[in-house]
Structure 1
């Protein structure tokens, strides 16, 4: 459905630091994109956001790092149009370029001109997950596209990130904990200095997400970082979660 024909909402995130127009039905912006943006190092200046959707991760990174620029890549033309609208809505259109393309084509001769091969020093990736062998497909096509994938697709996104990044470029991605083996296997072909940060809904609950940071061309062994706990036993967000999700702070 074209964006202009869909029901849209206008929502504030990061404590009002970012305003996003998005479709009322289908895949909606959640914590994942904001955590991903917060995990990206602030010394990066040329970012690529793979599968940007309405632009949430890439724009959140630009809001935190005013010196940076970003290319927002989205395969769905309606979502790409919303990403461009959101960049303008937040005064970030001068630093954000939206490209409608399949992630698998980036950095290839037949792919789009931007992002150029080796031109980025940061790639953000929130790849589709929930392999269809374990989860029921959503009846909403856009939601299904955002959540159905397998290890081959994850590996394809990592290869695309590799093509987009220059030497010592950083890849940041977010995924489910059960994909850890697939993540490490995909990163083994070109990345190292891997840092893994588990995200827990509460201190007594298993992690529900992994934030992963890796450096192109490095061979340093992986490191498991102290986890992020989103809420206390009473359901109140922890100070660290508030600092990131409401105050727009960084995850270190």
Structure 2
């Protein structure tokens, strides 16, 4: 008996400027995290971006949709999620930029010759972005295999992912990621001497509420000091469900979130 196909939906992002094929009822579905991650990429002229652990490709698609000179490689280990990314590339709605996006089905933690042979060569990208799994391995595991793969951290995850980022980024290239605040020490340690000039922005749901995410950027080879930026409030009023104007602009690809330096 052949396996049942995974139910799927086609979802619009950036107010309809691009669409994504995603699993329905199982697996990880992209949302605000991916859009905020994509907003961290800012560059003029032609450049290359690697989206590590891309899933169905939301962040990479958002970069290509907003920046017309971006060439994006979606790096995803899961065959199922990589196939969703390929389906998204085939959508007519994404034709204006689909030629600038490629899917690379491989493990981002590969090292040395294995990583190079898989298609992730040294000094290949101006930007490396990532939204790594954020649940501790001791957390209750979901029976949904696709979702478990997307959400469950492995030991030394940030070290292995940022090690790859350090290898494939060009000198002066930018690392960008979104994570939970609890991961901040691991992220800084993994950046080590690979990436400096670390800038961290805490994301708070509303005034007076604790941060639920952090945005992190860093520059390969920089020796600039760590900076904590002013926080982002998702909703700038306690009684409102509307996004704050800047967050709404970032979420819909109208603007990018530029570094301080």
Q: Do the structures match in fold with TM over 0.5?
A: yes
How big is the shift at 1:114? 2.2
CA shift for structure 1 position 86: 1.4
User: Gapped runs of 5+ residues in structure 2?
Assistant: none
Partner of 2:39: 38
Structure 2 SS opposite 1:46: strand
2:7 corresponds to: 7
In 1, the alpha carbon distance for the partners of 2:3 and 2:133 equals 21
SS at match of 2:89: helix
1:151/1:192 Cα in 2 relative to 1: closer, same or farther (>3 Å)?
farther
- More displaced stretch, 175-184 vs 2-11: 2-11
Aligned partner of 2:89 in structure 1 is 87
Cα distance between partner residues in 1 of 2:69 and 2:18: 17
- After superposition, residues 1-252 of structure 1 pair within 5 angstroms as 5-24=5-24, 25-43=26-44, 45-89=47-91, 90-91=94-95, 92-105=97-110, 108-111=112-115, 112-133=117-138, 135-150=139-154, 152-231=156-235, 232-233=237-238, 234-252=240-258
CA contact (8 A) 2:66 2:253 kept: no
Question: Offset at 1:3?
Answer: 11
Q: What CA distance in whole angstroms lies between the structure 2 residues aligned with 1:174 and 1:55?
A: 15
Q: Deviations over 1:39-74 (max 9, x none)?
A: 122337111000000010111011111111011100
Give how far 1:178 is off: 0.8
CA contact (8 A) 2:76 2:105 kept: yes
Matched residue SS, 1:137: coil
DSSP 3-state at the match of 2:134: coil
Q: CA deviation at 1:196?
A: 0.6
Q: How many residues get paired? A: 249
Secondary structure of the 1:116 match is: coil
Distance, in Å, in 2 between the alignment partners of 1:248 and 1:150 is: 35
Unpaired stretches in structure 1, ≥5 consecutive residues: none
Shift of 1:249: 2.0
Q: Which moved more, 1:143-152 or 1:170-179?
A: 143-152
Cα RMSD (Å):
1.8
3-state DSSP of counterpart to 1:5: coil
Whole-angstrom CA distance in 1 between matches of 2:254 and 2:201:
18
**Structure 1 outlier segments of 4+, above 3 Å:** none
